[in-house]
Structure 1
Amino acid sequence: MNWQDELRQNMTTLDELAACIPGIDTSDDNARSILEKYPMSVPRYYLSLIDPGDESDCIRKMSIPSFSEMDISGTFDTSGESSNTKLKGLQHKYPQTVLLLSTNRCAMYCRYCFRKRMVGSHTEEIVEDLDQVLAYIEEHTEISNVLISGGDSFLLDNSAIERYLSALCSISHIDYIRFGTKIPVVFPERITSDGELQDIFRQYSSKKQIYIMTQFNHPSELTADSVKAVRCLQSLGLIVKNQTVLLKGINDNPDVLAGLMKGFTKVGIIPYYVFQCRPVTGVKNQFQVPLQTGYDIVEQVKRMQNGNGKCFRYALSNPDGKVEILGRSDDSHMVFKYHQAKNPADIGRIFVKEVPADACWVEE
């Protein structure tokens, strides 16, 4: 069975889910309404990581719909992506970087997804004319790197991945290429069983440096299968970096998050960011951790790491840019720094804001 056929075996309905997990109510109209609005798709591999007898299982919370998703508070575009869209599927927020939304599909639809507005349902925001996109990149010589995301960029066919790589590797001012993917976490056989994909990456990694930006959020996801996929990518000359999301009830425990970071350094994954969960509609009140609490967790985690395990930044991404959460100035004020900014004058700027104990976000 090839990976496309395997993916067709994903759990997408309540009836399928009920056959594997006790207590799923297939007659629940609310649950069906959630699935109509925010689709579910769980690979059988990832489903196998769930303890079916534990309703608070972390893998379950990240993959199985909850009634909390019907909460309408929050917004769908928390980072101002629409204002940074220059062509369909192309965002250019920071001078050196373009982001390409290559697909609206994922192997697994995360319940905390910050692109909940489009992933799995709408295609209005994904790349339509690749030639036009490539022309834009060639014209803007300040661009030094391209992030191919989605959805999940590894849900593209191999021919599409090769087309991106072939075209981008021919542009002299591109230093490196990134792929945003959760495939190593949720569907590792896409990598380990596909020799053609491996050959493509082996070929093009000798032309440009390729980074894989993945998202492990819990130590339970670092299985023998997922580590095998990571090792496979590394053997092809690719660098694997991880962007963890701080999630209430998942990894908002210092010991859990520290265990994840230790797992990264053990297998050569570079811990890049711990991101504050965004105030997305259907996500905000279910998964967000207060900023002050998050800072305390991150500081405790760093104390438990060696040097390489401390290299991640605790940050949030709002319409202004990527804001690093540095610390406290007193009990009610926190210190922030623009790690990256839409307005170049803000880059590196440090600022202090009053942050109540229950505040989970910093607005523009």
Structure 2
Amino acid sequence: MKRRTFLGLGALLGIGACATREATMGNRYYSGPVSDHFDGTQFFNPGGTAPKGFRDLLRWQFEGGKADWPDDVGITRARPEARVADLRVTMVGHATVLIQAGGLNILTDPVWSRRASPLRFAGPARATAPGVAFGDLPPIDAVLLSHNHYDHLDIATLRRLHAAHGMPVLTPLGNDTILRDAIDGIDARASDWGGVLEAGDLAVRLLPCHHWSARGTGDRSHALWASFAIETPAGRILHVGDTGYDEGRPYAAAAAHGPYRLAILPIGAYAPRWFMKDQHQNPEEAVAGFRACGARHALAHHWGTFQLTNEARDEPPGRLRKALAQADMSADSFRAVPPGEVWDVPA
């Protein structure tokens, strides 16, 4: 069976659509000094473009052009080893990746819930099951949380992870408040762009990317978004949760902290371009970013699990292959793999 995109409340509040720039009484999650990307109430992209407004959202929702997606895509789940000496990544789904590096186990933007939404009965539903059953996870040493949209920050999953693993969550400013308010006793550690967060043998530098944040209609850009330069015993990794290409500036900033053995880059949720360009890069831009950041290998994410935008489910990896060929780059250097697939990244 197939379904047509239905962007429910979860999408409208926090996935790629937005409300008007509402008047606020102050920031809900963060209080700190004004900077080149914080005006005292809201974070912003310096020199970048603000998200589209409510009128543009309505235009997108009513103009049509949304592809049909299958209701359920079968996968083969992985059962990870407890520890891995070198560098291994396992695709769980959407922006959730299990990174096993030099004996460390790291999860990015973990979502095991059925919907990317504040509601259980509405909002984008999974087209694929998680590539690793929750009970089959190895011990988790840290979670990297890039920003607070519902397809990246899932309180139900983080509550389960906290109960099972008690790991620290490393995240940009403001998201730690959201976590502490929702989950008693969680170890949430936050920093600004340029800051470094540590957890045991893991060191994570937060880097700028071009995005925004919201959990509802009154907290737009009250929490920061970031990419991560991850220092592990098995090499340096760049993880980008969500970003617009922004003339390549996020990748120029990342390149200064390379070289990277692996980059984990988003390639989906980009159509229509007139609406999504400022917040979600497309596969061609991801290839340009891969080349610019100086990584030796790349893993594609943010496609094929939740239907957030107009493109067909299998379009992003197809366009990725074409973009790599046009750039005269090996298809094996930048992989788009299904949930449950395991990749031992070459040295």
Q: TM over 0.5: same fold? A: no
> Shorter-chain-normalised TM-score: which range?
0.3 to 0.5
Q: Which has the higher contact order (CA 8 A, sep 6+)?
A: 2
Taking structure 2 as the reference length, the TM-score comes to: 0.41
Taking structure 1 as the reference length, the TM-score comes to: 0.40
Larger radius of gyration: 1
